[in-house]
Structure 1
Amino acid sequence: MIVKTYRIVAGLNDGLRTLFFTTLIFRTGTMAYPFLAAHLLLSGGFDASQAGTAVASFGVGALAADLAAGALLGRVGSRTVMLGGLLLNAAVLAVTPLLHELPWIIGAIVVWGFAYEVVTPASYSATIAGSEPEERKVAFSCYRLAINLGMAVGPVIGGLIFAVNPRAVFWANAVCVLAAAGYLTLRTNGGSSPARRARAARRGVPAVRPLRDHTRFWTIFALSLPVQLAYSLPSVFASTYVIVGLGLPSYWAGIIFTVNAAGIVLFEVPLNVVMARMENLPTLLIGYGLAGAGFLLMGLSESGPALVLSTLVWTAGEIVVFPGLLHYVSGLAPSGGSADRNMSLYSTGVNVAFILAPQLALLLSGPGHPGAPWAVGGAAVCVAWLLLIVARRSPYTWHKEEAWKCAN
């Protein structure tokens, strides 16, 4: 599987391969954020409430980036937005550990969240511009692979640096972000960027879209929120559930994360190559079904092996559903500039879910029902699965693929 994945990545066109390595370098530099709260508590002299407020401000900046990205991409294109976000990110990272007053720190973290997140919709835009519809599931899978590989390495390196010098982790992060910006600059130029070619092809497209274009997007946006919320649970709740809720040794939480990461790295790209020509509806139904079953099983699991089995099921769902959702949303407006807007708003849903997940998990869990958040998340995904079947009956709530599938 590793060899097959390597060959698929190596076979990407120049634009997508550049995006892959830019993303890999950038996400490998995700060192400072996982240790932000610890830095504020240990080095900044702030209490838990102040540190929590500061960390939460990152999400505020990220949401602002998602809301602004559509307009930015329409004006300057994905390459410029990515470079601007990377450079601003590096600048904020260099300054943040030198700040001592809470208002200044919160302001810097808001800007940091904006700069970090604005790269995501720009990357979606570059992926759409650099791939044909029939290639897009694989292209999004490769992009997600770069994210997961980077995020697996970055926090580990950050932990080692933080143990030596907490401030240095911010500067090491900034160096990685600058390296990503440098790589993107050397591998591309403004005149030949995929996004610019795509904008040129869109000139003359009417600004007003049919009502059903709007209703289709907001239908899938609403139906994707249960999936986003459910998949936010592992990162914010798994350790608490395993150690506190079930009273199991902490290494089972590590095994869950390892199984999930290994499954994505080994199988996501090859599986989506096999499923590249599968229509959107069956792809999403398979992904939603596996996700719902996996999270329901998590809520029923009481032993380490049962948790691992459940993790395998919802990881299989993750491998299918997220490239499927990105592929479907990217195709809702294939001939107009609203594709950038749609992808930016989709990213907003991801961040809203990630912000809400910790509060919902703590609200639903308790001594008598520690698995309730998993059960509720799984049930919500199952309801969304049923609503997908209903939605596909109307052209106002479902977009059917064009005839290219039949022609191939």
Structure 2
Amino acid sequence: MRKIYLNYISNFSGLSQEIWLLSLVTFVNRAGAMVIPFLSLYLVNAKGFTLPQVGWIMSAFGLGSLVGTYFGGRLTDAIGFYKVITYSLFLGGLGFIGLQFLDTFYGFCLGIFFLTLVADAYRPAIFVACEVYSKPGNVTRSIALIRLAINLGFSIGPLIGGLIIAHINYTSLFWIDGISCVIASIILIGKIKPKSRKSKNIQVTLPEEKVPKVKEGVPPYRNGYFMLLFIIMIASTLTFVQYFSVMPLYYETVHLLSEDRIGWLLFLNGAVIVIFEMPLVNWMERIKISKTMATFWGIVFIALSFIVLNFTTWGGILIIGMLLMTLGEMVGSPFSNALALEMAPKGRKGSYMGLYSMSFSMSHIIGHNSGMNLVDSYGFDFTWYVMFGFLVLVGVLTLWLYRLLKKSPKFATY
């Protein structure tokens, strides 16, 4: 056991102090994000909205995320990641608190839009900060640590959220989510500054953040390889987002799970990632798997997570599906993030990562709405077949990207 423990800890060695502090802020932020996985249940059970209405509200969620990540990337290049992260956390926290006071369909659409616009400006900025504070050769593992913090918070959040819903009420989630975001911004201001700083408990020496004046390379929309990756990420994640809206409804209506049991199932996802992602990423880097092929295998496992749900009505299949999805997420996400970062030239990191993050936002616009309407019209089984078939096509597209990159001297190792 001691050897296993030491081997696990060694996966985190060599990461900078700044990356650990950014991970702490990210954990606090995500631990409170317990509203999101229960939002579709809240809109149906507490507000009485229909599935198509919930689909449109979640599309507004995606549209706000799209606009937020776009401007977040542009602002990161213009004013620096530190200010973008700080304001996004603080104002997003206030937005989550205010969301509980909305009652109408159009009010929710507007409220969700503006909330995610502010909150998701955080995403491209944190990726750029991760690269700035990473030591040479540690970018992928630094991203994996940030993701570990996200998933540790996300695993604890839904578990607590499910218990709160079961024993208190839905609206308590909005207060906890909002307050946690505000706390995260305070930690960031207190512990990480874009200049040298010392405190009683910890010494942090950071370089003055400089916004590059010279932009190298071409904008992301003129980089053909990057745009193909962008399309792949949109296509793959529009199926992945079903786990944040349609899947909780499937757990409740088909398998009759209560909110607290749904919370435990979502906790499994985060717990597995926390324990296994860093060793898995470290092992995959040692065997020198290309980032593009890692992205491909991530898509394969997520596709399998949908199709197995139609094999049997046995309740344990939900755990198998969740584990397959989690494996796909662990294999694909850190390497696709690192691939996007490596494609980005100096001075354009924010723009590239902003566009990369926009792929997830566009998936929210399309994915939730299409998933809800497919279920409403044809049922869950048909929807899972559609998701599986679509991901097979995305996998083929990813293999094509791999072949194109292999032929390019600049990107042959990607």
Pairwise TM-score range, normalised by the shorter structure = 0.7 to 0.9
Of 365, 371, 376, which residue of structure 2 is paired with 1:355? 365
Are 1:138 and 2:141 an aligned pair?
A: yes
Question: Map of 1:315-354 to 2, 5 A cutoff?
Answer: 315-333=326-344, 335-354=345-364
Does 102-111 or 25-34 show the bigger shift? Answer: 102-111
In structure 2, what is the equivalent of residue 282 of structure 1? 293
Q: Counterpart of 2:319 in structure 1: which amino acid?
A: V
Separation of aligned partners in 2, 1:285 and 1:54: 31
Residue 357 of structure 1: CA displacement?
A: 2.4
Separation of aligned partners in 2, 1:40 and 1:279: 42
8 Å CA contact 2:58–2:364 kept in 1: the answer is no
Q: Counterpart of 1:308 in structure 2: which amino acid?
A: I
Distance 1:35 1:325, change over 3 A: closer
**Aligned sequence identity (%):** 22
Does 29-38 or 130-139 show the bigger shift? Answer: 29-38
Are 1:128 and 2:138 an aligned pair?
A: no
Are 1:260 and 2:269 an aligned pair?
A: yes
Distance 1:103 1:303, change over 3 A: closer
Residue 26 of structure 1: CA displacement?
A: 0.9
- SS for the counterpart of 2:65 is helix
Are 1:364 and 2:367 an aligned pair?
A: no
- SS for the counterpart of 2:328 is helix
User: Which runs of no fewer than 5 residues in structure 1 stay unpaired?
Assistant: none
- SS for the counterpart of 1:337 is coil
Distance 1:5 1:118, change over 3 A: farther
Separation of aligned partners in 2, 1:285 and 1:301: 27
The one-character-per-residue Cα deviations of 1:338-376 (angstroms, maximum 9, x if unpaired) are 221121112221122233223322443479863222222
8 Å CA contact 2:130–2:142 kept in 1: the answer is yes
In structure 1, what is the equivalent of residue 186 of structure 2? 182
8 Å CA contact 2:307–2:385 kept in 1: the answer is yes
8 Å CA contact 1:99–1:105 kept in 2: the answer is yes
Of 219, 233, 239, which residue of structure 1 is paired with 2:242? 233
Q: Counterpart of 1:284 in structure 2: which amino acid?
A: T
Are 1:380 and 2:380 an aligned pair?
A: no
Does 114-123 or 86-95 show the bigger shift? Answer: 86-95
Are 1:147 and 2:150 an aligned pair?
A: yes
TM-score in terms of structure 2 length? 0.80
Note the aligned Cα RMSD (angstroms). 3.9
Separation of aligned partners in 2, 1:164 and 1:221: 42
Separation of aligned partners in 2, 1:54 and 1:233: 14
Separation of aligned partners in 2, 1:211 and 1:154: 35
**Equivalent residues, number:** 397
Does 355-364 or 75-84 show the bigger shift? Answer: 355-364
8 Å CA contact 1:289–1:385 kept in 2: the answer is yes
The one-character-per-residue Cα deviations of 1:197-247 (angstroms, maximum 9, x if unpaired) are 6745x44344x6189961111101111223202222223233444554xx5
Distance 1:56 1:205, change over 3 A: closer
Distance 1:325 1:241, change over 3 A: same
- SS for the counterpart of 1:189 is coil
TM-score in terms of structure 1 length? 0.81
Of 76, 82, 85, which residue of structure 1 is paired with 2:79? 76
- SS for the counterpart of 1:392 is helix
Distance 1:289 1:93, change over 3 A: closer
Q: Counterpart of 1:64 in structure 2: which amino acid?
A: V
The structure with the largest helix share of the pair is 1
Residue 186 of structure 1: CA displacement?
A: 1.8
In structure 2, what is the equivalent of residue 88 of structure 1? 91
In structure 2, what is the equivalent of residue 250 of structure 1? 257
User: Which runs of no fewer than 5 residues in structure 2 stay unpaired?
Assistant: 197-203
In structure 1, what is the equivalent of residue 200 of structure 2? none
The one-character-per-residue Cα deviations of 1:137-180 (angstroms, maximum 9, x if unpaired) are 21121111111111222344445666557665444333322221
Separation of aligned partners in 1, 2:176 and 2:220: 48
8 Å CA contact 2:74–2:354 kept in 1: the answer is no
In structure 2, what is the equivalent of residue 216 of structure 1? 225
Question: Map of 1:87-106 to 2, 5 A cutoff?
Answer: 87-97=90-100
Does 78-87 or 156-165 show the bigger shift? Answer: 156-165
Of 388, 402, 407, which residue of structure 2 is paired with 1:392? 402
Greater relative contact order (Cα < 8 A, sep 6+):
2
